[in-house]
Amino acid sequence: MSTIAFIGLGVMGLPMATNLVAAGHRVIGVNRGAVPRDALEQAGGESTVVLAQAVREADVIITMLPDSPDVEGVMLGDGGILAFARKNSLVIDMSSIAPASAIHLSAAAADRGLAIVDAPVSGGESGAIAGKLSIMVGGEPEAFGRAEPYFAALGTTVRHVGPAGAGQTVKAANQLLVAGIIGLVSEALVFLDAYSVDLETAASVLAGGLAGNRILDQKVQGMLAHEFVPGFRLELHHKDLGNLMDAARSAGVTLPVSAVVAQLVGAANARGNGSLDHSALLLELEGLSARTIA
């Protein structure tokens, strides 16, 4: 069993850290807020607000933070992870950040003699709690092999998808698909409502056919009730789609449908819905048709 410094005990990070404790690891959580630190301690972990303290003791350092600047802020510089990590430590960034940032961090870690992988996840809060996340991993095969035992406590679908940055690239594609499907489900609900169709029945029929998808399975009941308790905040999805479009532009790839989806999510975020679940994209599609389904 290993000593793990887990930086970022948010909606996803706290249950992930708790699952690592349950798997028998010593986990030292690093977080500014006291409430998640207390929760981790109640689950058998340890916690601190001092990054250097946790990193110096750790065999493995895991980050689960909101965006590229957050990860770079705790990784780089005199007070960052790379300054305090022991040589040959394993760094696992499970945040969703720009692919270019992941490549930059990989090079910086290699210069310090550290193994690193970018390993963003999909599955939301429910997947994190259940330990059933999908984990897409970029980095050297040897580093991936070292990380696999920890992923086993966090997810059920774990794949090495390529070199540094590849995990983040797959995550960007994942976020495009999820946002696009939420948008299409929202449009379908608005369309069906316009013809006075029973929406619950229609959703169950659609879920059983070729149009079936995880949004219909997991999100549609909340959408119908207009209950958007965040499992994954819309503002974070907006950030992820920004990373997608930046990466596509850098590669010279044209993504016209993605651009429309990104604009819709951006509009929903701009209207003040960023703190809601990403399924609140429904509100934007309702507004465009000047009707409310619930």
Contact call for residues 50 and 103 (beta carbons, < 8 A): no
Give me the pLDDT at residue 50, please. Answer: 94
Q: What is the spatial distance between Cα 99 and Cα 7, in angstroms, rounded to a whole number?
A: 20
Give me the pLDDT at residue 112, please. Answer: 93
Residue 87 annotated to the active site: no
Provide the token pair at 22. 């349950």
DSSP helix/strand/coil, 24: coil
Compute how many other C-beta atoms are within 10 angstroms of the C-beta atom of residue 40: 25
Q: Residue 11 half-sphere exposure, CB side, CA atoms within 13 Å?
A: 16
Contact call for residues 65 and 42 (beta carbons, < 8 A): no
Ramachandran sector of residue 209 (left: φ over 0; alpha: ψ -120 to 50; beta: rest): beta
Which domains, ranges and CATH numbers included, belong to the chain? 3-164 (3.40.50.720), 170-289 (1.10.1040.10)
Element (H, E) at 118: strand 115-118
Give me the pLDDT at residue 1, please. Answer: 86
**Does pTM top 0.75 for this prediction?**
yes
Give me the pLDDT at residue 286, please. Answer: 98
Q: Which residue has the tokens 């790839």?
A: 253
Q: What is the spatial distance between Cα 229 and Cα 225, in angstroms, rounded to a whole number?
A: 11
Q: What is the spatial distance between Cα 74 and Cα 12, in angstroms, rounded to a whole number?
A: 18
Contact call for residues 118 and 102 (beta carbons, < 8 A): yes
Give me the pLDDT at residue 78, please. Answer: 85
**What would the pLDDT profile of 48-77 be if each residue is shown by its tens digit?**
999 999 999 999 999 999 999 999 999 998
Contact call for residues 122 and 174 (beta carbons, < 8 A): yes
Contact call for residues 115 and 140 (beta carbons, < 8 A): yes
Q: What is the spatial distance between Cα 228 and Cα 232, in angstroms, rounded to a whole number?
A: 10
Residue environment code for 171-196, b if the CB has 16+ CB neighbours within 10 A, otherwise e: bbbbbbebbbbbbebbbbbbebbeee
**Catalytic-labelled residue, pool 87, 132, 171, 239:** 171
Give me the pLDDT at residue 250, please. Answer: 95
User: Which residues of the chain have a pLDDT value below 70?
Assistant: none
